[in-house]
Amino acid sequence: MISVIDAAGQEIQLGRELGKGGEGSVYEIPSDSSAVAKIYHRPLSAEKAEKLRAIAQLATPDLLKVAAWPTSTLHNNGIIVGFLMRRIELGMRPIHELYTPKTRLRQFPTANWDFLLHVATNVVRGFAAIHAKGHIVGDVNHGNLLVCSRGTTTFIDCDSFQVRRNG
């Protein structure tokens, strides 16, 4: 089992790999079912490590409500190797599966016009919450916004956002 240290100095044991992308892999945290860890495949530049530190320090309840926002950096031998974030609920799908008619019928069979408006409103609320803190969604695409059957939306890939700290 892999272990890392969070920003508070606590050891975090990583569980099974839940997903893998170009930048890193996401692991479950057996001791905390509400969180997951993203661990990067390659060492981070000093600039990226500082950005992750800043993003984690900027976490607020409003941001955590609408995004899988980093909440703590993760370290190995004092070097940032990843971060903690809230675990996305099961059943969330990339938003393009809602707005593409064929997959909407399969993934969201009861979606009607009211549901689509509800989701659109939640997307706008998410952008507003992020922008209200002075941050910018750096990679707006259909794979970085998830939606569930209740119409709740969540931004992912928050480590690509442009953030404002100390002006």
Has 114 been annotated as catalytic? no
Q: Cite the residue boundaries of each domain of the chain with CATH code 3.30.200.20.
A: 3-86
Q: Is the pLDDT of residue 146 over 80?
A: yes
Q: In what order do the strands lie in the sheet with 17-20?
A: 11-13, 3-6, 72-76, 79-86, 35-40, 24-28, 17-20
pLDDT tens per residue across span 31-69 = 999 999 999 999 999 999 999 999 999 999 999 999 999
Among candidate residues 32, 114, 139, 157, the one labeled active-site is 139
Q: What's the pLDDT at 138?
A: 77
Q: Is the pLDDT of residue 1 over 90?
A: no
The hierarchical CATH code for the domain 3-86 is 3.30.200.20
pLDDT tens per residue across span 61-118 = 999 999 999 999 999 999 999 999 999 988 899 999 999 999 999 999 999 999 999 9
- pTM, entire model: 0.90
Q: Which of 108, 157, 163, 154 is nearest to 133 (CA)?
A: 163
Distance (Å, whole) CA 22 – CA 41: 8
Q: Is the pLDDT of residue 164 over 90?
A: no
